Amino acid sequence: MSKQTPNQLAQWKKEWRQGFEREKARILVCAGTGCVANGSLDVYAALKQEVEARGAYVTVDVLLEKEETGVSVVKSGCHGFCEMGPLVRLEPSGILYTKVKAEDAAEIVAALLDGKEPVERLLYRHPVTNEVYAEEEQIPFYHHQQRTALVHCGQIDPEEIREYIADGGYEGLQKVLTTMTPEQVCQEIIASGLRGRGGGGFPTGRKWEFTRIEKSDQKYVVCNGDEGDPGAFMDRSLLEGDPHRILEGMAIAGYAIGANEGYIYVRAEYPLAVQRLKKAVADAEKYGLLGQNILGTDFSFTLKIKEGAGAFVCGEETALLASIEGKRGMPSPKPPFPAQSGLWGKPTLINNVETFANIPQIIVKGADWFSQIGTKNNAGTKTFAITGQVANTGLIEVPLGTTLREVVFEIGGGIRDGKKFKAVQIGGPSGGCLTEEHLDLPLDFDSLQAAGAMIGSGGLVVMDESTCMVEVARFFMNFTQNESCGKCVPCREGTKRMLEILQRAVDGEGQPEDVEILQDLAEAVRDGSLCGLGKTAPNPVLTMLKYFKEEYIAHVVDKKCPAGVCSALKGYWIDPEKCKGCSKCARHCPVNAISGEIKKPYTIDETVCIRCGACVSTCPFKAIKEG
């Protein structure tokens, strides 16, 4: 490509925008990992075929050459409402079809092209109110969100750089290269109040400034895309849905700190993200937005993609850097911090995917715009992956400071099946659980930390009354103990022993003294571990002991699981008031633990009972109780 000028970007934007505007309508089929798994690629093919059959299919290349209108069918990134997928969005109407199958293509296209009413059976129907919503933005799940980092996810074709540019992409990079000094860029980020979205919440601008002032022949920008929390997929959605935004954020960072090289460390388990990133990097290079003399300026910046090998600990920055260097992914003590001595001993800026995603808009719209979103000291929005016993699960983005209640009950639609809310586990295995008393707690870095939890990368698991908190703590401890790198003693051995103690509790073999041992050990592991993984690994245990101590004591002292989850602690008894003495249960019991006289209340011999629950389902009078 011939030598660029900064103006080039504006020309492209104008030209391609005109092209896209010539579309009469566009059909966006979600091609995020969730929807693809549900068959969205077949839906895409069917829709495309249908539009072609009706002679209305156009692509932007056609539109750029001829002033022809028509309908385009494109693949988009993740909308976040994965459980309703495959999702199909229509533009300009904003209609969202849910759970679309290939067979629905003809009907969708017919409705669109013939100007008929949308296909009602494919529209979202609220599970509680039964209300039907046609437009995506009106659906309560979206209505309460503020999508800024995710603004393009589900809205544009992530594999088409021209769409990103047409919508103002790379203008932030152009702005810093042509109008700002590196120092000004750092100051702008500091002024915005942006804090690291990877969990720690360290002020991003200060990190940039620390790295900028280091003197070195070589510096690096690293994007941490090693998202490993169970159930969290914020980074994946961003990388799949809007890869150029990340690239632009990194290039701006490179300019700000004086780095000409960057690495995107992304999980190998995210093949689609890797593939889209590779294409995005190649396209950006093709258009001179990465590589040598970007937009004709003196600034050069190249990006490499490094696939991780599936270790949770590589989300820890020093372990991640070791992994890029080809070493075993193990953290090392800080100081020195990466800003002083990072990748190959050079000053290195390492930020999370979502942090970089916020950068271009801060530059274009200004620090003031950003700092007005959210609350004081917690500017901007945060993405969360909301899962568990909630009506709507998926990927959401809300201003920091939004209360837990809004997230769970308005966006999440409340607890499923009319059950009672019990707790949320926030921040994945590094976070802690929050209870009903925290429902009005603003979701921000400081409030959560004060409550013993953390935003982490943004995993949010909602639990109802049928969840056993001891089992939840055991589950997360099992995860961290498997993912501990094995380097420092407290984490390697301590998580193993915490798991051992929790396992005992759910197996009905806990001892009263375990309560104290577990508390003591958890605090020692928190204090003594080398890296963030170990320091936060006891959080689920500590918050469980803080907010649900009675439940744990019930396990180890009374040998009961109040939630009725731990099978080793389940017990069954027959309510003599309700039992009619029909003997059905006794006949179904596989171990003959139930006996009695016909027409008189039966009894269960607990010493023989294997707690299989067969009696409960056979009893016609609901006389058999758990507990």
Partner 1 sequence: MEQKNTVLIDGQVVEINGEKNILELTRKIGIDIPTFCYHSELSLYGACRMCVVEVEGRGIMASCSTPPTPGMKILTNSPRVQRVRRTVLELLLANHDRECTTCDRNGSCKLQDLSNRFGVKKIRFGERDVKLPLDHSSRSLVRDPNKCILCGDCVRMCSEVQGIGVLDFAGRGSQTVVAPAFNKNLAEVECVNCGQCAAVCPTGAIVVKDETDRAWAALNDPTKTVVVQVAPAVRVALGEEFGLPAGEIVTGKLVAALKRLGFDKVFDTSITADLTVIEETNEFIKRLQSGERLPQFTSCCPGWVKFAEHNGADFLNNLSSCRSPQQMFGSLVKKHWAKDLGKKPDEIFVVSIMPCTAKKYEAALSNMTTEGVADVDLVLTTQELARMIREAGLVFDQLDVESFDTPFGFTTGAGVIFGATGGVAEAVLRAAHEFVTGQPIEQVNFEAVRGFADRKEATVEIDGQEIKVAVVHGLGNAKKLLEEIREGKADYHIIEVMACPGGCIGGAGQPISPDRETKKQRAKGIYNADKLSQLRKAQDNPMVAKFYERWLKEPNSAEAHEALHTTYSNRGRITGEEIQLIAGEQPKVDIAVCVGTCCYLDGSYDTLQKLMKLTETEQVQDRINLHATFCLEQCEKGPVIKVDDEIINAVTPETVEKVFKEKILKKLAAAGE
Residues in touch with partner 1 (CB under 8 A)? 311, 313, 328, 330, 332-335, 481-490, 492-497, 500, 517, 520-521, 523-525, 527-530
Strand blocks (E) in 474-583: 572-574
Minimal distance, residue 486 CB to partner 1, in Å: 3
Locate 369 and state its tokens. Answer: 């715009």
What is the distance of C-alpha 578 from the center of its chain? 47
Minimal distance, residue 497 CB to partner 1, in Å: 4
Q: Which is nearer to partner 1, 528 or 613 (CB)?
A: 528
Q: Which is nearer to partner 1, 365 or 492 (CB)?
A: 492
Q: Which is nearer to partner 1, 8 or 318 (CB)?
A: 318
Cβ distance 187 to 203 under 8 Å? Answer: no
Minimal distance, residue 513 CB to partner 1, in Å: 8
Minimal distance, residue 229 CB to partner 1, in Å: 17
Locate 429 and state its tokens. Answer: 């295995």
Query: In the block, which residue shows the tokens 């990388």?
Result: 239
Burial bucket for residue 136 (CB in 10 Å: 0-12, 13-18, 19+): buried
Minimal distance, residue 476 CB to partner 1, in Å: 14
Minimal distance, residue 473 CB to partner 1, in Å: 17
Q: Which is nearer to partner 1, 69 or 511 (CB)?
A: 511
Minimal distance, residue 30 CB to partner 1, in Å: 33
Minimal distance, residue 508 CB to partner 1, in Å: 17
Q: Which is nearer to partner 1, 95 or 311 (CB)?
A: 311
Minimal distance, residue 485 CB to partner 1, in Å: 6
Q: Which is nearer to partner 1, 381 or 529 (CB)?
A: 529
CB atoms within 10 A of CB 299: 18
Residues 306-329, buried b or exposed e (16+ Cβ, 10 A)?
Answer: bbbeebbbbbbbbbbbbbbeeeeb
Locate 561 and state its tokens. Answer: 């699981």
Q: Which is nearer to partner 1, 32 or 538 (CB)?
A: 538
Minimal distance, residue 215 CB to partner 1, in Å: 19
Q: Please, what is the angle between helix 469-483 and helix 539-547, to 10°?
A: 170
Cβ distance 294 to 288 under 8 Å? Answer: yes
Minimal distance, residue 392 CB to partner 1, in Å: 35
Q: Which is nearer to partner 1, 335 or 512 (CB)?
A: 335
Burial bucket for residue 335 (CB in 10 Å: 0-12, 13-18, 19+): exposed
Coil, helix or strand at residue 549: helix
Coil, helix or strand at residue 186: helix
Cβ distance 79 to 155 under 8 Å? Answer: no
In whole angstroms, how large is the CA radius of gyration of the chain? 27
Q: Which is nearer to partner 1, 453 or 525 (CB)?
A: 525
Q: Which is nearer to partner 1, 334 or 546 (CB)?
A: 334
Q: Is the dihedral of CA 127, 129, 135, 137 positive or negative?
A: negative
Minimal distance, residue 528 CB to partner 1, in Å: 4
Query: In the block, which residue shows the tokens 């089992």?
Result: 471
Q: Which is nearer to partner 1, 204 or 529 (CB)?
A: 529
- Measure the CA–CA gap between 464 and 443, rounded to whole angstroms: 20
Q: CB within 8 A of 141, min separation 6: which ones?
A: 81, 124, 392, 394, 396, 411, 412, 413
Q: What secondary structure, in 3-state letters, does 576-603 show? A: CCCCCCCCHHHHHCCCCCEECCCCCCCE
Cβ distance 541 to 518 under 8 Å? Answer: yes
Q: Which is nearer to partner 1, 280 or 522 (CB)?
A: 522
Locate 18 and state its tokens. Answer: 């005109």
Minimal distance, residue 261 CB to partner 1, in Å: 22
Q: Which is nearer to partner 1, 46 or 525 (CB)?
A: 525
Task: Write the DSSP string, 282-335.
Answer: HHHHHTTSSBSSGGGSS--BEEEEEE--S-GGGGSHHHHHHHHTTS------SS
Minimal distance, residue 429 CB to partner 1, in Å: 13
Q: Which is nearer to partner 1, 471 or 483 (CB)?
A: 483
Burial bucket for residue 128 (CB in 10 Å: 0-12, 13-18, 19+): exposed
